[in-house]
Every structure is written in structure tokens, then in C-alpha cells.
Chain A
């Protein structure tokens, strides 16, 4: 059976798995962005903490994803969520923190001190300088980090099937155990397509949100 035939025959199931995949990756990313961006911004005001946090986030990235999902099981079993969607989401949040944190932190810090001084000098409060100057100026770089996190999470999300979270990874794992190439391919193609589509959509959103004044052309 060709990959095409497989997809055509299992269209409904594929869509369901893709939706499952989208949901837990989406939830994980939403949490990662909502926590990572403010934390990254906060870290710019606390150098010492920044070094520690970025170091820890860096270590997190070095843990192989399969191992991280595996580690979730004993820890979350205590709360009765050893396997399934919850540990998958937590692992993905931890994974995507680093690119988001690091890009936010770097972007906010790279704003020219002269611009901050100008803002304060003309009578903006520190919060206004942050919200109206530093963050809008950093959006492009923050978006770059978010896009890395998005693509990465969709890919790593496939491994979450290993701990029973479902999603497109299920086709890949089942395909491997059944040595069913068409199934593996269908899962892999769908994951890639999803990553490409998500990256494209975030690219569009970035273009919309980032000021024209910051674009280089």
C-alpha cells in the first residue's frame, strides 16, 4: 500500500490524530508563550536570576525528548497523571521555554540604551518605556524564538504518543512496531506539513504585528 493510498483510506482518523496533535501542542505553546515572554522580560531586570534561569532552560534542552517524556511518568504518577496529555503538555512547555525565554531576554536587552534614556528623558514611566518601546521593538526577535518553539514542539509532540498522548506520533510509533512504511510516512508527512503550515501562519502574524519601521528592506 502506498502512503497516498493509506492517507486516502484513513483520512478521517488522520484528521482526528492531527487535531489531537494540534490541541496538546497548541495548549503547550500557549502556556509557554504566556509564561516565557513575561519571564524573559522580567529577567532583563534581574541579571543574576537571568543567568540561572537561562542555564536551567539550556540544560532542559539537552535532555533527550524521549527521556523527558519518560521522566514525566514517575513524577506525575503521584498526581495520577503519569501518562496521557498532561505530561506531554508539561514536557513540551519545558522544551519550548528556552527559545522563547532566550529570544525575549536577548531582544529586550538589545534595545539601544539611548532609546530607553530618550523615553525616560521625555517623561515616560519605566513601565511605559517597557510596554510602548522595548516590547514593540523586540517583537520581531521574540517572534523568531516563538517560531522555533512552534516548529520544534510540533516535531517533538510526535514523541508524546510514546506516553499515550495520542496525536500524529501514534501513526509513526504504530508504523514502526508493525513495520508498516505507509503508516510511518503518513504520520511523518502530516507532522511536517503541520509544522510548515504553523510556521507560515506565525510568519504572517509576525508581519502583521511587527512595525514596518523595524523591517529591513
Chain B
């Protein structure tokens, strides 16, 4: 856990503080993203935590201990540190780079070697072929994987990451982000992640702290920043396409409607048709007794059919997983011209349905900050 209490930093000779009276709490195991335009103080704020920069006033505590009461070297060995330029030591092999802190801590060679291999595996690099390489023999993405491994060598409970994937090409950046998220899901470290890229912040952050001119403008869940920006600055910073970003953030399972109207494959066709007419349904999802998706039927299929629905049900191949994000689901809907998508998990069980109306309503909500305005505006003609 990291707690900042009215933290201020004024560089010598500067009239304005670089960071001013920031209070923030990062719970254990959470990724907190510091974001803001360049010069907003995000990197300064991060470096105050491991005392690379001395604090001017206020206090910072790490796992309940005030950092000013700790030896800065000891403190840094308990905090992993990853920077954009990677900063691997070019004269050392990958093994020695990763083993730097353990060696300083006096681990035995055998223990260091074991830890190095374990970490290489964790960052998806084959220990056998990477252990003895030098940094110049690594690609940018590989180098930063080693950078992350080095930061985690002594198993620090906290990690500070300063634009770690900023210098990596967009495709590899995505891969590294995903990998880091899955490592984080396993190891649950408390992470401070600095970036200037709002998309990265939304993807990586469980909590986002937006800074501007040394002050904290808004903190909250990514969705809160997108959905309820505190002021114009936040709104502009997150971008005019914040709706699309929000779709990227939300998962199908967040927006789907549960328990959709359906029938079972061994229901009688006549009875189902009768109900469809009564409820004015053009088509209907067909499931089996285990709630697995069997397909769909429309009224024409059922008209005059005597027997079970399952015999005439058409196959429904375009489904979506509840874990996909809404942007992908929406693009699937638009490209196949579907009004509705059935949400099916890996085992084939129906989880719900996603229809374009709910999706667009969600989109609308992002803009309709006071609630309900759109509907009142869209119908009714001239006001006077």
C-alpha cells in the first residue's frame, strides 16, 4: 500500500511547485496509473516515492512506514523500478542484469540463477537462449521484458513503472501490456504506472490519477474518468472519443441482458409459435436443457411444423464471448448487420444477449451526464 499525504515538491530555484499538495492512496495489489500532459509532475511524483527526488513537504508511506524513516537504498531495493529507456547495463549479461539486486542483497549464486530462470519464464523469454545474451543482442520488446524482470528480481511488493512501454512499437506494446497484466493478476503487486497515453491508462489502470500542472485533477476508476469527467480539462484530456474508449473498457458481460427469452429444443413447435405470435417475437433463441445454445428459429420455420423446435432450428454461428470488450462486439454487429448478438461462454452456455439498443443506450449515457436529456430532446417538435 502506498499513501501520499499532501505531498509537495518544489525544485530549488523554481517558483511553482512541480507537484503540489497531492494526497492519494493506492491499495495493496492495485495498479494505479499517473497520467497527465508532459510536465504535469507525474514522473516527479513517482520518483518521490523511491526517494530518487527528495520530498519538499508532506509525507509518503509505503506499507505503513514513512519513507523518510527508511534508508533510501533499502527502500529502493524493496521497490521495483522500470523506466522507459529500459536502462539495462550493457556490459552485463541478461542473467547479471536481472541478478543485480539479489547480488547486492547477498543471495547465493545458485539462488540467483534459479530466480533468473524463473523470472525469464515469467516474462515469456526462454531462459536457455536469453540468460547469457547481452542487452545489445535484444530487441526493444525483449529488453523491456528483461527490465521488468530485473525490477521484480528481489520480489518487491511495490513496483514503479515510468512509461515502461512508451518506446516500444504499438503491436509489441499491446503484447507487453497484456503480459504485464497477466503477471500482475498472478503476483498482485502494488504498481504505480506512469503514462501519457490515455488508452494505456484505461487498459492498465485499476485506478487512474490525472494530474495537471502539479495538481491532482481527478482520481477514480477508468470508467469514472470517461463517464463522469470532473471538469473540462479531464474531458478534453480523455478525448472526444471517450465513448469508444469506454466501449473498449467495458466487457460484453457488463452490458448484456441476462436470461433472454428462449425456448428449448424439445419444446413443441406449435406451442412455441403460438407464444411467439402472442409476444410479437420475430425470432427466438433455441437452447437445450443444459442451457447450451442450439440455434434460432423464426416464425416461418415453425409455421405448419409438427414436432420439436430443435428439428427446424437454424444454426447461429455468430456469437460473442462475455469477456470480449464492447468495441469488438459492436464492430461485429455492424459488420454482419446484426441487431442482436448471443453471448455464449467457452462451454457453449448462453450467458445473455447483447442488442444494439442497449449498446447505443450505454454510448448515449456517456454523453448524457445529467441523465435522461437525450430522450426529452429527441422528440416533441418546436419548443415554442
Q: Is there an interface contact between B104 and A121, defined as CB atoms closer than 8 Å? A: no
Task: Indicate whether A64 reaches chain B with its CB closer than 8 angstroms.
Answer: no
Counting CB contacts under 8 A, is B24 at the interface? no
Given A112-B87, A137-B90, A213-B135, residue A122 in contact with residue B52 (CB < 8 A): no
Quick check: is A86 within 8 A (CB to CB) of the other chain?
A: no
Interface status of B271 (Cβ within 8 A of chain A): no
Q: Is the CB of A121 within 8 A of B89?
A: no
Does any Cβ of A come within 8 Å of B269's Cβ?
no
B73 at interface (Cβ–Cβ under 8 A)?
yes
> Contact mask B73-94 → A, CB, 8 Å, 1/0?
1111110110101111111110
Number of A-B contacts (CB under 8 A): 77
As a 0/1 sequence over residues 129 to 147 of chain A, the CB contacts with chain B under 8 angstroms (1 = contact) are 0001100110000000000
Chain A residues with CB below 8 A from B151, complex form? 122
B101 lies within 8 A of A123 (CB): yes
State whether the Cβ of A67 lies closer than 8 Å to any Cβ in chain B. no
Whether B92 pairs with A213 at a CB distance below 8 angstroms is yes
Tell me if A10 is interfacial: C-beta within 8 Å of chain B.
no
**At the interface, is chain B mostly helix, strand, loop or mixed?**
mixed
Complex formed: what's the CA distance from A213 to B9 in Å? Answer: 39
Selected contact of B90 from candidates A120, A128, A213, CB within 8 Å: A213
Q: Mark A92-127, 1 if CB is under 8 A from B, else 0.
A: 000000000000000000001011011111111100
Write the residues of chain B forming the contact surface with A, with a CB cutoff of 8 angstroms: 50, 52, 73-78, 80-81, 83, 85-93, 100-101, 104, 134-136, 147, 150-151, 160
Sample 21 A-B pairs with CB under 8 A, ordered by A number: A115-B89, A117-B83, A118-B83, A118-B88, A118-B89, A119-B89, A119-B100, A121-B52, A121-B83, A121-B160, A122-B76, A122-B80, A122-B101, A123-B73, A123-B75, A123-B78, A133-B89, A136-B91, A137-B90, A213-B93, A213-B134
6 further A-B pairs in the complex, CB-CB below 8 A; given A115-B87, A118-B85, A121-B160: A118-B81, A119-B89, A122-B81, A125-B73, A213-B93, A213-B136
